[in-house]
């Protein structure tokens, strides 16, 4: 082997060694490849503590300005305007009796028919009619002010001002109050929860929202949007995931953050679906592994009338309803549902929705409601 061949072999060896050195150095500089972990499927049960679900909510959009909700006391000014006048069937029926020159049998029959169509119910209608006939036969209707006062007093008895309508949002032993909101699809449940969070924030309470309506597309995003507007965190899980696991984590988040109130949005459900109603009962039991549920609010659409009462009965069989929220109780609603649903469940109407505005959810007050109906 001559000197030229030795030189070529030497050069090739040098190149191979240099390339290997560079390759090893570059490998050492690269970060290690991430290890992929598959998330565990949350499977809470009544007998074991449910596993965690993701609780990291996305940051609010850049530039989001926190809103200061309207104080509840100033919202009542809109109640009279939205319930008064001839657009409301119940108000129309009540005012018709005051405008009658003669209260004969036909006038009373028309009065009863109007009240029944306003969803006051047969029993309450008969009670009100009999009381008015008795009182007005003594007082007469020639003095419209006296007649109106009699009507107000009798109607107020039906609405029942003795009910405790305060929201039970105070927890015990350092734990937050827990509000569970239930109702069928289409009643505006998620929107109402967003509005309720605004009511509580206006009262200087810290709130955590639980987006346990995991089966309706974009429900969690909708609730998060409401929360972001007033600086309220929203605990979410995977779409289609277990609602009970999300509810559990929302309450845990409230405990960890020292929040005053946790509001849980339950999965939208048809009240005729037995399996889904059973799941609702499980949600409540799972939550109470951490903290008592202090309020169970049933949301009803005030325009649905008798169908709303059917829904109320079924929900009351699954969870102990403590209060009712009536949405869409504006000029087009059949206001008699207030009396009927309270009698049906033995629990009070606590909140009413009066429109599409963000602050159109107000505490229900019996006297304000009656006075609004009798406004001309």
Question: Where is the domain boundary, 106, 140, 159?
Answer: 159
Domain assignment of residue 262, yes or no: yes
Q: Say how many Å lie between the first and final Cα of the chain, rounded.
A: 120
Structure tokens at 290: 């951490």
pTM over 0.85: no
Q: Average pLDDT, stretch 63-69? A: 66
Cα–Cα distances in angstroms (integers) from residue 289 to residues 91, 117, 167, 292, in the given order? 46, 45, 22, 8
Domain assignment of residue 101, yes or no: yes
- Three-class DSSP category at 177: strand
Judgement on whether residues 326 and 252 belong to the same structural domain of the protein: yes
Judgement on whether residues 300 and 199 belong to the same structural domain of the protein: yes
pLDDT of 38:
33
| Each residue's pLDDT tens digit, 118-160 | 788 889 989 988 988 888 776 556 667 777 888 889 989 999 9
State which of 96-100, 212-216, 248-252 shows the largest mean pLDDT.
Answer: 248-252
The closest alpha carbon to 75, from 376, 370, 351, belongs to: 351
Q: Widest CA span of the chain, in angstroms?
A: 139
How many residues are recorded in the chain? 376
| Each residue's pLDDT tens digit, 346-362 | 999 999 987 777 888 88
Q: Above pLDDT 70, what percent of the chain?
A: 71
User: At residue 57, does pLDDT exceed 50?
Assistant: no
State which of 80-94, 142-156, 199-213, 229-243 shows the largest mean pLDDT.
Answer: 199-213
Domain assignment of residue 64, yes or no: no
Dist. CA 304–CA 337, nearest whole Å: 9
Pairing of strands 361-363, 349-353: antiparallel
Q: How distant is the alpha carbon of residue 317 from its chain centre?
A: 19
Confidence of residue 327 (pLDDT cuts 50, 70, 90): confident
Number of domains in the chain: 2
Q: Which backbone phi and psi does 168 adopt, to 5 degrees?
A: -90, 90
Domain assignment of residue 286, yes or no: yes
User: At residue 280, does pLDDT exceed 50?
Assistant: yes
Question: Which CATH number is 354's domain given?
Answer: 3.40.50.300
pLDDT of 281:
83
Question: Where is the domain boundary, 128, 159, 190?
Answer: 159
Judgement on whether residues 351 and 247 belong to the same structural domain of the protein: yes
Cα–Cα distances in angstroms (integers) from residue 186 to residues 38, 123, 127, 182, in the given order? 35, 29, 33, 12
Q: Which residues constitute the domain of residue 202?
A: 167-364
């Amino acid at each position: 082997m001559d000197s030229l061949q030795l030189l070529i072999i030497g050069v090739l060896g040098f190149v191979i060694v240099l390339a290997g050195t560079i390759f090893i150095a570059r490998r050492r500089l690269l970060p290690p490849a991430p290890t992929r972990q598959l998330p565990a499927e949350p499977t809470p049960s009544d007998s074991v503590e449910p596993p965690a679900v993701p609780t990291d909510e996305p940051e609010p959009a850049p530039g989001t300005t926190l809103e200061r909700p309207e104080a509840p006391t100033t919202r009542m000014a809109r109640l009279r305007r939205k319930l008064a006048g001839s657009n409301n069937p119940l108000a129309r029926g009540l005012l018709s009796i005051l405008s009658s020159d003669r209260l004969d049998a036909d006038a009373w029959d028309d009065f009863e028919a109007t009240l029944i169509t306003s969803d006051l119910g047969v029993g309450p209608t008969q009670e009100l009619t009999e009381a008015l006939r008795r009182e007005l036969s003594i007082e007469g209707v020639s003095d419209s002010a006296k007649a109106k006062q009699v009507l107000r007093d009798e109607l107020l008895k039906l609405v029942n001002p003795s009910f405790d309508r305060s929201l039970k949002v105070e927890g015990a032993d350092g734990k937050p109050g827990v509000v569970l909101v239930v109702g069928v699809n289409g009643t505006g449940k998620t929107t109402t929860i967003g509005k309720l969070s605004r009511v509580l924030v206006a009262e200087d309470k810290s709130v955590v929202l639980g987006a346990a309506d995991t089966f309706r597309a974009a429900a969690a995003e909708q609730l998060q949007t409401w929360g972001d507007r007033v600086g309220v965190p929203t605990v979410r899980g995977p779409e289609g995931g277990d609602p009970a696991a999300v509810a559990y984590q929302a309450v845990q988040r409230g405990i960890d953050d020292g929040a005053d109130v946790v509001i849980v949005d339950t999965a939208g459900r048809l009240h005729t679906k037995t399996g889904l109603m059973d799941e609702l009962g499980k949600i409540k039991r799972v939550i109470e592994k951490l903290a008592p549920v202090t309020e169970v609010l049933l949301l009803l659409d005030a325009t649905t009338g008798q169908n709303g009462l059917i829904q109320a009965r079924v929900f009351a069989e699954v969870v102990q309803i403590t209060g009712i929220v009536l949405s869409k109780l504006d000029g087009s609603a059949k206001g008699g549902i207030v009396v009927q649903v309270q009698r049906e469940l033995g629990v009070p109407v606590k909140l009413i929705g009066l429109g599409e505005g963000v602050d159109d959810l107000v505490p229900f007050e019996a006297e304000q409601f009656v006075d609004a109906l009798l406004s001309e």
